[in-house]
Amino acid sequence: MVKPDGVQRGLVGEVISRFEAKGLKFVAAKLELLPEERVVEQYREHLEKPFFPGLKRYIMSGPCFLMVWEGKGAVAVVRTMIGATNPAEAAPGSIRGDFGLDIGRNVVHASDSPRSADREIGIHFTPTELVEYSKIDEPVLYE
Ligand code: IDP
Ligand code: MG
């Protein structure tokens, strides 16, 4: 998900380009102002954290661009590509490392395990929004 700061800064295309170039398969996407219930559900592990009220205001401050991507090891690959939570410490070459400065404005979200990916996809997408198709580069992308 590109967070509201990333959307406002015009980074949606950059984020999509990186995942496409990596070889991941684009399965779903939409631009949305997230309702409070879905923000709370997505970040339920952080409800009691001191930063949660600010996090909720940030995520609801403008539209988010939500995506589903598939591919071999996609969850771990995407976590590596987005970089550490704090952009000031994220590796150069990662999305947060290249485009952020502040932990409270870190440009993107990504699920941290296949289980949380399933859970978060269920919060934000209906089954009919997930597009099933085969991609012609698969025979050259995978051994
Ligand atoms: P992650 O996004 O890398 O998985 P989490 O620890 O799950 O990081 O935190 C979720 C989100 O909460 C972060 O991406 C960031 O937007 C926000 N956040 C985490 N820690 C802080 C903090 O110390 N101050 C402000 N916001 C924070
Ligand atoms: Mg997290």
What average pLDDT does this structure show over 110-136? Answer: 97
The per-type count for the chain, helices as H runs and strands as E runs, is 8, 2
What average pLDDT does this structure show over 4-24? Answer: 98
Which residues line ligand 1 at a C-beta cut-off of 6 Å?
Answer: 46, 51, 55, 85, 103-104, 106, 109, 112
Residue 124 appears among annotated catalytic residues: no
| List 80, 109, 112, 116, catalytic entry | 109
- Which amino acid appears at position 140 of this protein? V
In this structure, the residue with its CA closest to atom 25 of ligand 1 is 104
- The fraction of the chain above a pLDDT of 70, given in percent, is 100
Q: Which CATH number fits domain 4-141: 1.10.1040.10, 2.60.40.1180, 3.40.50.920, 3.30.70.141?
A: 3.30.70.141
Measured in Å, residue 15 CA sits from the centre of ligand 1 at 19
**DSSP reduced 3-state for 3:** coil
> CA torsion sign, 50 to 51 to 57 to 59?
negative
Query: What pLDDT digit, counting tens, does each position of 22-78 carry?
Result: 999 999 999 999 999 999 999 999 999 999 999 999 999 999 999 999 999 999 999
pTM above 0.95, yes or no: yes
Q: Using only the alpha carbons of the chain, give its radius of gyration.
A: 15
Q: What is the residue-averaged pLDDT of the chain?
A: 98
Domains of the chain, by residue range, sit at: 4-141
Looking at all shown ligands, the one closest to residue 102's CA atom is 1
